[in-house]
């Protein structure tokens, strides 16, 4: 089988598994209690993002960047990713949207951040596959992407659904995300004769390190923090919602799923650990 056929098959397969992973939350949501499913699914997604950052992206970035400089550049860039997201999410966005929250128009920023980061990572991964010059290596890279694409699409769409965005926006997010890897494969294939492989490795390593930091930030400070929040914090959000007339926060009650959520976070982490042993 030719190298071009391998890459074309990879693009179609990755597109298909991304669609399947992203559609699962929609299907399950129709058959389950929506709030509980989204809460439990969000906990699983938090574990997946945490594991992807610590177990996959950061080690891969460190391995790639160590070939260029003997300095822990990957952890530094991951810390920069955390800092940049902290600045955007809790400083700039918070100040800008303060009046919007009083008017009841505030929407969480992390679904947008996840879409951008996951899409860019998918584009870079697809480009790396497109740049490959041998059949054997291309197949290995394709398998690695296939293992991650479905779980990433699932985690992304659970987070987007949990944020309360419109159905049209949700499908736009899924469409953008699933198309990024095939687009990257096409770009990499075209540019394979123009870009040196070491340059591509440097770009991919740097972006993976930044993405690791953003994944860890989103997993801990947005997703897991929201699902494992204390009762006092939920009461405060309920009172603020009632005072501003938004009334979209349910009456806080004892979280009977707290242990289950913790298990799901660990399950997400474990799934990434298993993939790390296989891929």
Q: How many domains does the chain have?
A: 1
254 backbone dihedrals φ, ψ, rounded to 5°: -60, 135
Note whether 209 and 62 are within 8 A (CB). yes
pLDDT in tens, 168-187: 888 999 999 999 999 988 88
Note whether 94 and 106 are within 8 A (CB). no
Count the residues in the chain: 279
Taking the C-alpha atoms of residue 49 and residue 214, their distance in angstroms, rounded to an integer, is 9
Taking the C-alpha atoms of residue 118 and residue 53, their distance in angstroms, rounded to an integer, is 11
Range of the domain at 186: 3-278
| pLDDT value of position 93 | 65
Considering only 145-159, 219-233, 255-269, which range has the smallest mean pLDDT? Answer: 219-233
Mean pLDDT score of the chain, rounded to an integer?
78
Considering only 46-50, 81-85, 230-234, 242-246, which range has the smallest mean pLDDT? Answer: 242-246
């Amino acid at each position: 089988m030719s190298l071009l056929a391998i890459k074309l098959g990879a693009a179609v397969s990755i597109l298909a598994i991304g669609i399947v992973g992203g559609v699962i939350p929609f299907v399950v949501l129709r058959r389950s209690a929506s709030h509980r499913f989204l809460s439990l699914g969000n906990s699983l997604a938090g574990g997946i993002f945490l594991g992807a950052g610590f177990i996959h992206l950061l080690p891969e970035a460190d391995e790639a960047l160590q070939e260029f400089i003997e300095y822990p550049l990957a952890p530094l860039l991951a810390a920069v990713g955390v800092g940049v997201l902290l600045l955007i999410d809790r400083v700039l966005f918070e100040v800008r949207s303060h009046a919007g929250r009083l008017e009841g128009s505030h929407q969480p920023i992390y679904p947008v951040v996840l879409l951008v980061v996951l899409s860019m990572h998918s584009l870079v991964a697809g480009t790396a596959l497109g740049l490959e010059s041998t059949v054997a290596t291309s197949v290995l890279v394709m398998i690695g992407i296939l293992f991650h694409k479905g779980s990433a699409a699932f985690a992304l769409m659970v987070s987007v659904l949990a944020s309360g965005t419109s159905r049209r926006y949700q499908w736009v997010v899924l469409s953008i995300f699933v198309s990024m890897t095939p687009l990257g494969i096409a770009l990499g294939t075209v540019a394979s004769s123009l870009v040196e492989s070491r340059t591509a490795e440097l770009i991919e390593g740097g972006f993976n390190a930044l993405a690791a930091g953003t994944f860890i930030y989103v997993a801990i400070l947005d997703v897991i923090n929201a699902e494992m929040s204390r009762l006092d914090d939920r009461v405060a959000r309920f009172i603020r919602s009632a005072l501003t007339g938004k009334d979209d926060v349910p009456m806080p009650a004892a979280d009977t799923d707290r242990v289950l959520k913790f298990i799901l976070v660990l399950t997400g982490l474990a799934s990434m650990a298993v993939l790390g042993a296989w891929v």
